[in-house]
A and B are shown apart, each in its own frame.
Chain A
Amino acid sequence: MSVLADTRAVQIIDRSQRARVVAVGLAVLLIVVSVSSLAIGASGTSLWRALGDIAAGRRATQTASVVLWEIRAPRLVMGICVGAALAVSGAVLQGLFRNPLADPGLIGVSAGAGLGAITAIVLGAALPMWIAQAVGNQLVPVAAFLGGWATTIVLYRVATRNGRTSVATMLLAGIALAALAGALSGILVYIADDRQLRDLTFWGLGSLAGATWDKVTVAAPIIVVAIAVALTLAGGLNGLALGEATARHIGIPVQRMKNLAILTVAAAVGSAVAVSGGIGFIGIVVPHLLRLATGPDHRMLLINAALLGASLLLLADVISRVIIAPAELPIGIVTAVLGAPVFLWILLRRRGLVDL
């Protein structure tokens, strides 16, 4: 056939190659930001002097080692884990909903996880002894995970009909679920005692300030496993971009993949929310920037999202620590100020998407 004769040879642009270069750059960025995060803080403790002392065979001053090892280091590890968890969860949710506007904070998953955490704090003491012993100090993250998981499943059921997810329904259902979770949380706050209230205030703000090695050892392993599982979903999420039916036709076990994706997101977001409260917009901004730079192929997107998410959250944390030092701005404010305009920009650029 003459109309189908097109023999011009064209060099294929391999965006995965570019994505691998970007991954190296992001890894370097993460190292740089990590060092700054250790070096910068309200106390004025110098990382370099402490390191210099250690290098010279002297013991670092006790204050310096406490500040660095007990305050800044766990905060650094927590920041990396939470940032990576939120960004990867955002990318996975967007792939699952086939929509670049899905974000754990925006569609109520974080609120659901927060409700779980608050429930555990306020009502945890009332649990039967054997349950309390079984979960131990994991009670808050486990409850946050269950809250996030339940919200994601309800949201998916409500927003998806016949394998198609309606954007409008997803966003509106997310608002409704977040409002419901907020109301229930409000009731719990109302009946909470003074000590519990102090614990709770910290969720409203969203902060890495509460980071301790105890919390890190609970949350970090869950997040690492969740991200590792998420990376195995990359090929399936690529297929899902063609639609659920087509994904099945090219051999993807769609139902199993969706269940795994929902569990992964719930575990990662649940753990992140349990230790840092609700931090918004990382999950939407990071994957979007990366798609612009290196394309939507999830195989590199998820890895790069983990790296960039960790860097961005650490950066936001450093800003929150220095901008009104010695006081500290809640990190949720920083990410919202940076993230909300980007979100609006995506909305305006892709207005057709929300006409559904």
Chain B
Amino acid sequence: MLMAHNISVHLGHRSILSDVTFSAKAGELTAIVGPNGSGKTTLLRALTGDVAYTGQITINDRALPDHPPWELATIRAVLPQATVLAFPFTVIEVVRIGLHSGVSGGRDDVALHALHRVGLGSYVNRVYQELSGGEQQRVQLARVLAQVWDPVMDGTPRWLLLDEPVASLDIGHQLGVMDIAQRYAQSGGGVVAIMHDLNLTALYADRVAILSNGRVLADGTVSDVLTDTWLSRAYGCDIRVNTPPAPGKTYILPHAATIAVHRKLVS
């Protein structure tokens, strides 16, 4: 269980989060959505201990500040929006740096498995800086996966905290990455992801929290939360769910792509 109780964050005189209560269960993919500047990233940074907050955050029933850095690194991994590397490390070297705390059981092959999982198994010797933005993001996902490779270790769940994991990816890779996150949750780990794409959220999330102006507007299952009322209020525009556009207009949903893939698998 990852719990945040009455979290408030101030930067200077501005209040970024006020009295946010949020929880995520192991075995579920919990999405945080909301408009720009609603406090999504700040909430994630509070959950990772990167920003000073008032209130209480517990991870696996133990207060966040009670964990020393190395121990925290053994139970949760964090994927930032983008990572700029200072030096020309190769792809495999980047993933191995993520194993700094040596907690994936000292298994050398974990880094390689992780790269294969994100589809970059043949990229091991490539220099990180020479990859495209989307490829760099997948390398970072591999690093994060390798850090907490087993979703459950010694009976306690481990956590993936993902800040817009699919932001710089094409639709095929968006689905691929969300599948990985979903599989992690289904294997008993916990996943918290900040999402911009509401369709992908609807497709993959087990639970959704909508943030608006630094507060939790709504919190619950996809069908409870992703509704006309809540979305319209959060995003400040008139939103209708499950409404196709006027006949003749093209629209493309990730749902359609996964249906096609599943049909191919079945046939």
Q: Tell me the A residues contacting B by CB distance below 8 Å.
A: 1-10, 12-13, 15, 95, 98-100, 235, 238-243, 245-246, 248-254, 291, 295-297
Q: Are B119 and A241 in contact (CB under 8 A)?
A: no
Contacts A10-B123, A296-B87 known; 15 new A-B pairs at CB < 8 A = A3-B173, A4-B117, A10-B124, A12-B124, A15-B93, A235-B100, A241-B85, A241-B97, A242-B85, A243-B80, A248-B50, A251-B74, A295-B89, A295-B90, A296-B89
**Measured between alpha carbons, how far is A235 from B90 in the docked complex, in Å?**
16
Which of A239, A246, A252, A296 counts the most chain B CB atoms within 10 A? A246
Chain B residues in 8 Å Cβ range of A1: 119, 172, 175-176, 179, 261
Nearest chain B CB to A53's CB is how many angstroms away? 51
Q: Are A238 and B97 in contact (CB under 8 A)?
A: yes
Chain A residues in 8 Å Cβ range of B50: 245, 248
Residue among B86, B94, B120, B179 making CB contact with A98, cutoff 8 Å: B86
Which residue of chain A has the shortest Cβ distance to B111 in the bound complex? A12
Chain A residues in 8 Å Cβ range of B76: 249
Q: Are B73 and A12 in contact (CB under 8 A)?
A: no
Nearest chain B CB to A233's CB is how many angstroms away? 13
5 tightest A-B contacts by CB? A251-B73, A296-B87, A4-B119, A251-B101, A98-B86
Is B121 close to A, CB under 8 A? Answer: yes
Chain A residues in 8 Å Cβ range of B124: 10, 12-13
Q: Are B69 and A10 in contact (CB under 8 A)?
A: no
Q: Are B83 and A246 in contact (CB under 8 A)?
A: yes
Chain B residues in 8 Å Cβ range of A240: 86
Q: Are B119 and A5 in contact (CB under 8 A)?
A: yes
**Chain A to chain B contacts (Cβ below 8 Å), 13 pairs:** A1-B261, A4-B173, A4-B180, A6-B120, A6-B121, A7-B116, A239-B97, A241-B87, A243-B80, A248-B50, A251-B70, A251-B73, A295-B93
Nearest chain B CB to A239's CB is how many angstroms away? 5
Nearest chain B CB to A131's CB is how many angstroms away? 39
Q: Are B121 and A242 in contact (CB under 8 A)?
A: no
Nearest chain B CB to A19's CB is how many angstroms away? 12
**Measured between alpha carbons, how far is A99 from B124 in the docked complex, in Å?**
24
Q: Are A15 and B85 in contact (CB under 8 A)?
A: no
Which residue of chain B has the shortest Cβ distance to A253 in the bound complex? B69
Q: Are A250 and B100 in contact (CB under 8 A)?
A: yes
**Measured between alpha carbons, how far is A241 from B101 in the docked complex, in Å?**
16
**In the complex where A1-B261, A8-B122, A250-B98 touch, is A295 in contact with B84 (Cβ < 8 A)?**
no
**Measured between alpha carbons, how far is A8 from B103 in the docked complex, in Å?**
27
Is B147 close to A, CB under 8 A? Answer: yes
- The total of Cβ contacts below 8 Å across the A-B interface reads 121
Interface majority SS (helix, strand, loop, mixed), chain A: loop
Chain A residues in 8 Å Cβ range of B29: none
Is B37 close to A, CB under 8 A? Answer: no
Residue among A5, A13, A98, A252 making CB contact with B125, cutoff 8 Å: A13
Residue among A9, A249, A252, A254 making CB contact with B121, cutoff 8 Å: A9
Chain B residues in 8 Å Cβ range of A242: 83, 85, 94, 97, 143
**Measured between alpha carbons, how far is A291 from B69 in the docked complex, in Å?**
29
**Measured between alpha carbons, how far is A296 from B85 in the docked complex, in Å?**
11
Is B118 close to A, CB under 8 A? Answer: yes
Nearest chain B CB to A156's CB is how many angstroms away? 15
Which residue of chain A has the shortest Cβ distance to B84 in the bound complex? A243
Is B194 close to A, CB under 8 A? Answer: no
Is B112 close to A, CB under 8 A? Answer: yes
Q: Are B72 and A251 in contact (CB under 8 A)?
A: yes
Chain A residues in 8 Å Cβ range of B97: 238-239, 241-242, 250
Which of A4, A9, A248 counts the most chain B CB atoms within 10 A? A4
Nearest chain A CB to B256's CB is how many angstroms away? 15
Chain A residues in 8 Å Cβ range of B99: 250
Q: In B161-199, which residues have CB < 8 Å from any A CB?
A: 172-173, 175-176, 179-180
Q: Are B70 and A10 in contact (CB under 8 A)?
A: no
Is B59 close to A, CB under 8 A? Answer: no
Residue among B69, B87, B98, B176 making CB contact with A248, cutoff 8 Å: B69
**Measured between alpha carbons, how far is A61 from B143 in the docked complex, in Å?**
65
Nearest chain B CB to A70's CB is how many angstroms away? 43
Is B77 close to A, CB under 8 A? Answer: yes
